[in-house]
């Protein structure tokens, strides 16, 4: 059964991280995505060894065309694909696509309903727009990096999940679909400026609201969901493994206290000043049993306790297994498409749906012309 985005056609100009993630999300849901890669297979060594291998899981579901955009013939192929497309995805610094000859103005003039989606760290404007950066830089400017980590230690980067994938790739996927819905109603395309800084700021909406209310401290370890509160954090167990607990609501915490054998009297006053002492007591209690013992006692209750699994353990957890959250494809573990749809579920079809010729043929280029382009080294 086809996914909910069946019939949409997307041209992805291959970049790193967020752009591939956006394209993966769209193709998981049935969109027909063709990847245009400007790199030459016989060119310089690849600085990112995962690219082009079966381990490049974010390249699934779509074919790749290595296209020389410095040639008139290569640029013409790109224009022909864009003429048929609903959206374009690119993740280069501002000005790169213009220099190649694929500016938004030119592409939207060719295809007035095209949603031209630009994924960058800083955005298309502002004093940093032309400078390099990575996830840590974008979330540093959002104020959210300063809010992570233990007090008295440097802020702790939460992998590259917030800037690259949450504030970048997912934001861009949302922007693509918003733009396509507008184009379907009006016939008019537009440019989507999806900046990881902007998306990270958006994800911090609740925290900024709490700060404005005077309910969020700039000092780490003094807030209810930053690891400072004794009822929201990770605790080491007798076997050196960890559980994560989050019984924020009083009735959930009461259940945890009852089942874990905590002395409720010492937890009746849980003001911020008492948090360190209460955390010490909870740490002592959690060290009395193994992680498996705590999970057997608490995991399937409303005490809000879960094992802190590593990357190898996570796929085997009963909840992940029951949901089919991980899929083995040719010996490589893939995260399953999400969200779930009752009528038109997404699917992992393949890492690469075919070579350049078959990919271009599905987009309407004649076989003879593709062969001629290949002969010239354009593809």
The structural domains of the chain, with segments of one domain joined by +, span 9-203+349-376, 233-313
CA nearest to 247, candidates 239, 256, 238: 256
d(CA 327, CA 324): 7
- pLDDT of 66 reads 93
134 is catalytic: yes
Exposed e or buried b per residue across 121-157, where buried means at least 16 C-beta atoms within 10 angstroms of its C-beta: bbbbeeeeeeeebebbbbbbbbebbebebeeeeebeb
d(CA 269, CA 279): 13
From first CA to last CA, the distance across the chain in angstroms is 32
Stretch 149-169: mean pLDDT: 95
Residue 194 scores a pLDDT above 80: yes
Among 1-5, 91-95, 348-352, which stretch is predicted with the lowest mean pLDDT? 348-352
- pTM above threshold 0.85: yes
Residue 67 scores a pLDDT above 70: yes
On the question of a common fold for 9-203+349-376 and 233-313, the answer reads no
* C-alpha torsion sign, points 345, 83, 175, 129: positive
Stretch 297-319: mean pLDDT: 97
* β-strand partners of 327: 334
Q: Does domain 9-203+349-376 have CATH number 3.40.50.10540?
A: yes
- pLDDT of 138 reads 98
Pick the catalytic residue from 56, 134, 193, 317: 134
Helices (DSSP H) in the chain: which residue ranges?
18-28, 72-84, 96-100, 104-110, 135-142, 171-186, 196-203, 205-213, 250-260, 275-286, 291-298, 318-323, 356-362, 367-376
Query: The domain 233-313 belongs to what CATH superfamily?
Result: formyl-coa transferase, domain 3 (3.30.1540.10)
- pLDDT of 39 reads 60
pLDDT band at 71 (very low <50, low <70, confident <90, very high): very high
Pick the catalytic residue from 37, 135, 164, 226: 164
- Count of CB atoms within 10 A of residue 167's CB? 29
Strand ranges (E), 1-127: 9-13, 32-37, 63-66, 87-90, 115-120
Query: Which of 110 and 273 is assigned the larger pLDDT?
Result: 110
DSSP 180-236: HHHHHHHS--EEEEEEHHHHHHHHTHHHHHHHHHT---SSTTSSTTTT-STTSEEEE
* Most confident of the ranges 3-17, 39-53, 266-280, 353-367: 3-17
Cis peptide before 339 (omega within 30 of 0): yes
Cβ contact 11:85 at 8 Å = yes
Residue 354 scores a pLDDT above 70: no
Task: Give, for 334, the enclosing helix (H) or strand (E).
Answer: strand 332-335
Looking at residue 336, what DSSP letter applies? P
Among 51-55, 77-81, 264-268, 373-377, which stretch is predicted with the lowest mean pLDDT? 264-268
Length of the chain: 379
Residue 300, classed as helix, strand or coil, is: coil
């Amino acid at each position: 059964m086809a996914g909910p985005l069946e019939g949409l056609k997307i041209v992805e100009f291959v970049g790193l991280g967020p752009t591939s993630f956006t394209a993966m999300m769209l193709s998981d849901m049935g969109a027909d995505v063709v990847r245009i890669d400007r790199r030459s297979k016989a060119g310089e060594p690849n600085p990112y060894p995962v690219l082009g291998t079966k381990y490049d899981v974010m390249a699934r579901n779509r074919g790749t065309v290595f296209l020389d955009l410095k040639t008139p013939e290569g640029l013409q192929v790109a224009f022909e694909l864009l003429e048929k497309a609903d959206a374009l995805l690119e993740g280069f610094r501002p000005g790169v696509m213009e220099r190649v000859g694929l500016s938004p103005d030119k592409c939207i003039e060719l295809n007035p309903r095209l949603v031209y989606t630009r994924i960058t760290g800083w955005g298309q404007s502002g004093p940093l727009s032309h400078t390099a950066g990575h996830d840590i830089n974008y979330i540093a400017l959002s104020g959210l990096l300063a809010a992570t980590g233990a007090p008295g230690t440097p802020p702790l980067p939460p992998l590259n999940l917030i800037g690259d994938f949450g504030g970048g790739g997912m934001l861009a996927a949302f922007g693509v679909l918003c733009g396509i819905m507008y184009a379907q109603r009006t016939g008019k395309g537009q440019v989507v400026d999806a900046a990881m800084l902007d998306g990270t700021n958006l994800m911090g909406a609740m925290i900024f609201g709490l700060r404005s209310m005077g309910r969020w401290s700039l000092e780490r370890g003094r807030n209810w969901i930053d690891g400072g509160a004794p009822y929201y954090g990770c605790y080491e167990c007798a076997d050196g493994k960890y559980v994560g607990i989050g019984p924020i609501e009083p009735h959930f915490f009461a259940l945890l206290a009852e089942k874990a054998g905590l002395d409720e009297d010492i937890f009746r006053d849980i003001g911020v000043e008492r948090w360190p002492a209460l955390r010490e007591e909870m740490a002592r209690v959690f060290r009395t049993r193994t992680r498996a013992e705590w999970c057997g006692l608490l995991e399937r209750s409303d005490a809000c306790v879960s094992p802190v699994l590593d990357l190898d353990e996570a796929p085997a957890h009963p909840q992940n297994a029951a949901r089919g959250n991980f899929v083995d494809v040719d010996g490589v573990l893939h995260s399953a498409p999400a969200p779930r749809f009752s009528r038109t579920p997404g699917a992992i079809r393949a890492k690469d749906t075919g070579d350049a010729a078959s990919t271009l043929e599905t987009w309407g280029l004649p076989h003879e012309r593709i062969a001629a382009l290949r002969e010239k080294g354009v593809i």
